[in-house]
């Protein structure tokens, strides 16, 4: 499987950013070449943590032209999807585990005007998405249990990426959690093209430099795969 290098992208996750300086933090990675920003929404029910909601997405939308990739870690996502899209989300991903009617929820996101992604927790098999692969615009595989930044990468996720890539050559596959400059190449070689990185970018000594380094490693990993 050879992916177009242009399509391998590091997505900085603002969960690890300094929220008091959010505009500056985003501007730094935008200038460094990021194409998308990953926005983690947590409700304290589906995951044991609370983060941000539509008003923050609306403010970010005014501050950047980058695509906003909104990861909903919430119960009953259908209730909030229109508000997030109205606030400026370009794509929204929902957890298979949080949706009673995943097919309907993915179609709702698309009808409201955004790209729709299906997310799996580390414990949920790839096979559970078999019947929505024709509907989803992308799949996000969690490589940590969702809820917090800065957790250890779960290596079995790479096998899930390979399994998914084997049944879907063109689908964008996103990976999220515990990605560092040490494991990013393995994620790309397994078949990921959208790679979320929070702590390793925003908790580093310089977000722009950390982004550039990870983006370079990711692109080179693909080059030697050919």
- Which residues does the annotation mark as catalytic? 40, 176
Residue 216 burial (CB count, 10 A) = 14
54 binds, among Zn ion, ligand DX5, none (CB under 5 to 8 A by kind): none
- Distance between start and end Cα atoms, the chain: 9
Answer for which of 12, 88, 178, 191 binds ligand DX5 (CB under 6 A) is 178
Q: Which of 176, 183, 199, 201 binds Zn ion (CB under 5 A)?
A: 176
| 95 part of the interface to Zn ion, by CB under 5 A | no
CB atoms within 10 A of CB 31: 11
Binding segment for Zn ion among 36-44, 94-102, 105-113, 154-162 (CB under 5 A)? 36-44
Question: And the tokens for 226?
Answer: 């050919």
Token couple for 161: 């990426």
15 binds ligand DX5 (CB under 6 A): yes
Cβ count within 10 A of residue 65: 6
CB 56 within 8 A of CB 26: no
Binding ligand DX5 by CB under 6 A: which of 91, 176, 187, 222? 176
By CB under 6 A, residue 96 contacts ligand DX5: no
**Residue spans of beta strands (DSSP E) within the chain:** 9-12, 36-42, 67-73, 91-95, 115-120, 138-142, 173-176, 194-197
Residue 183 is inside which H or E element, if any? none
- Of the candidate spans 45-53, 87-95, 158-166, 169-177, the one that interacts with Zn ion by CB under 5 A turns out to be 169-177
CA angle at 105 for the pair 36 and 190, rounded to the nearest 5°: 50
Contacts of 163 (CB under 8 A, 6+ apart): 126
Q: At 26, list the tokens.
A: 């985003």
Shortest Cβ distance from residue 191 to ligand DX5 (Å)?
19
Q: Segment 35-94, which members bind ligand DX5 (CB under 6 A)?
A: 38, 40, 71
User: With CB under 6 A as the contact rule, which of the stretches 1-9, 11-19, 110-118, 161-169 interacts with ligand DX5?
Assistant: 11-19
Nearest residue to ligand DX5 by CB is 198
Residue ranges that bind ligand DX5, judged by CB under 6 A: 13, 15-16, 38, 40, 71, 144, 146-151, 176-179, 196-200
């Amino acid at each position: 499987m050879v992916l177009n290098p242009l399509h391998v992208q590091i997505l900085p996750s603002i969960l690890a950013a300094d929220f008091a300086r959010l505009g500056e933090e985003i501007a730094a990675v935008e200038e460094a070449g990021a194409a998308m920003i990953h926005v983690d929404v947590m409700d304290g029910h589906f995951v044991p943590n609370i983060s941000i909601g539509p008003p923050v997405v609306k403010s970010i939308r005014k501050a950047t032209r980058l695509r906003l990739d909104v990861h909903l870690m919430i119960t009953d996502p259908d209730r909030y999807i229109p508000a997030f899209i109205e606030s400026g989300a370009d794509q929204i991903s929902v957890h298979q585990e949080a949706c009673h009617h995943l097919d309907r929820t993915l179609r709702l996101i698309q009808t409201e005007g955004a790209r729709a992604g299906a997310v799996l927790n580390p414990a949920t098999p790839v096979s559970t998405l078999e019947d929505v692969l024709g509907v989803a615009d992308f799949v996000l595989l969690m490589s940590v249990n969702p809820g917090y930044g800065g957790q250890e990468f779960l290596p079995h996720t790479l096998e899930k990426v390979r399994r998914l890539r084997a049944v879907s050559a063109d689908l964008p596959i996103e990976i999220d959690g515990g990605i560092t400059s040490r494991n990013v190449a393995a994620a790309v070689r397994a078949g990921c093209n959208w790679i979320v990185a929070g702590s390793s970018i925003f908790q580093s000594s310089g977000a722009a430099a950390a982004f550039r380094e990870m983006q370079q490693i990711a692109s080179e990993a693909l080059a030697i795969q050919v």
